[in-house]
Structure formats: structure tokens, C-alpha cells
Amino acid sequence: MAQNKVVSCIPNTITLMNALSGCLSITFAFTGSLTLAGLFILIAAVFDFFDGMAARLLKVSSAIGKELDSLADDISFGVAPSAIAFIIVSQQLNTEGVAFAQLPLGKMLLCLLPFLMAAFSALRLAKFNLDERQTDKFIGLPTPANAMVWASLPFILTYNADSYIAQNVIVPHILIPLSLIMSFLLVCELPLFSLKFKTWNFGSNKIRYIFLLFCLILIVVLHFASIPAIILLYVLMSVVAFKPQTSATEK
């Protein structure tokens, strides 16, 4: 009996490591270590992948595990990426170097807009828990996919500083509207294919294999700057993949 209790705690322990990684990401973001903040979002994503796998393998899925997973995900993939976006935007807008509380109200509100992603991530996770349609596909952008975009920005600024994305995309007049667009994508009724392989058959997984092939090419060519491009590709390929089904339903 004691052994069963220990086993049943393993997935939730991994989930808690996800939440802890998110907390560390937020801490590093607000202390100016943005690369570490991005790194801990990536670490959180690893824990997020393995907690579900552990629950399935050990056959110890529980209602509390599901709720705990959503809470951890909002910390790591909602609040943490919002904090990174907030810090980058506030640093770039605050050319005077004054304390944030001393900024003009307009600038202050612009800097805070990325935190809408944290709110919409919570809404997206709550919808996911109740939506029975999301078994073999997603409705709305998954929170880890959104988080990967923002986690990649410090790495791009550090290691791909001369790239087009670093110089022309990671700027306030792009990042602020992007945070609003990503907030919308989190909760919109956009179907997106899942990367879970039920079989290795090419015919039933064609879009997944093609997507992974393009991902490898983008990583080789763009390095860290490939991550935002991969998420954009994911959304575009999903739109193309599900368009015929939408048209057929309308007819």
C-alpha cells in the first residue's frame, strides 16, 4: 500500500517541478537574467511532457493531477513568458532608465499588456480541461507553444543578435501587438493538429512528419530564431490541414 502511494505521487511530483521551474523563470526574468528565464521555461516544458507520460505508464491519473497540471502550466507557460515579454518591452521603452513606477501612464500600460497572455493562458487551460473535442487535436494554441516563442527571445537577442528577427521583430511595436495576437490564438476556435503519434504509419501521420522535417531545416538554418518560425509554421500548416474539413462541414 505504501509503495502504491509513492508511485501515485511521482507524476504530481514531476508536475510540481514544472511549477517550480516556472517560478524560477519568473524570478530570473525580474532580476534581469532573461536567458535563464527562457531556459527554465524550456525545462518546465520537459517536466510537462514527462508528467503526463508518467501518469499513463504508471496508470495513476487523477483529478487532482489534472488540476495541478493546469496550475503549473499557467505559471510556466502563462506568467513566465508574460514576464519575459514585459521585461524586454519595458527595457526598450524605458530609454530614460527610470523606475517602472515613474514611467508615464501610457508607457506603463503598454509594458503591462503582455500579461494578458497569462490571463488568456488560464482561460485556455480551463477550456481544455472541459473540452471533450481536444483528444486528437487542439482547439486554440497550446500554452507551451506560445511560451516557446517568448522563451526563445532572450536566446535570439544573445546568440543571434545580428539576425533580422533580433533587430526588426524583437521591438515594442511588434512585441506588444504580437502578445495580443497570441492571447487571441490561445482561446480562439482554431483547430491545430497534435504531435502525438498513435502509430508510426506515414499515411496517418503525414502532416506530423512533414512538420518535423521542416522543423529540422529551420533549426539548422535559423538556430534559436527558428523557434518563432516553427510556431508560425505549426499554425499555418494546421490552418491548411483543417480547411477542407471546415469547408465540407459548411456545405
> What cell does 213 get?
522535417
Q: Look at residue 199 and tell me if it is in a domain.
A: no
pTM as predicted = 0.89
Residue 173's domain spans which residues?
Answer: 2-193
CATH (domain of 76): 1.20.120.1760
Kindly tell me the sign of the dihedral angle through the C-alpha atoms of 217, 240, 174, 40: negative
Q: Are 74 and 154 in contact (CB under 8 A)?
A: no
- Cβ within 8 Å of residue 140, ≥6 positions away: 124, 127, 128, 185, 186, 187, 188, 189, 190, 192
Taking only the tens place, the pLDDT of each residue in 94-111 is: 878 888 989 999 999 999
| pLDDT, block means (10 residues), the chain with 251 residues | 68 95 98 97 94 80 86 97 97 88 93 97 91 79 96 94 88 96 95 78 82 94 90 93 57 41
Q: Look at residue 156 and tell me if it is in a domain.
A: yes
Q: Look at residue 198 and tell me if it is in a domain.
A: no
Taking the C-alpha atoms of residue 21 and residue 94, their distance in angstroms, rounded to an integer, is 28
Q: Look at residue 241 and tell me if it is in a domain.
A: no
Q: What is the pLDDT of residue 248?
A: 44
Q: Look at residue 65 and tell me if it is in a domain.
A: yes
Q: Look at residue 204 and tell me if it is in a domain.
A: no
Give me the number of domains the chain comprises.
1
Q: Look at residue 246 and tell me if it is in a domain.
A: no
Taking the C-alpha atoms of residue 91 and residue 186, their distance in angstroms, rounded to an integer, is 26
Q: What is the pLDDT of residue 5?
A: 67
Q: Look at residue 212 and tell me if it is in a domain.
A: no
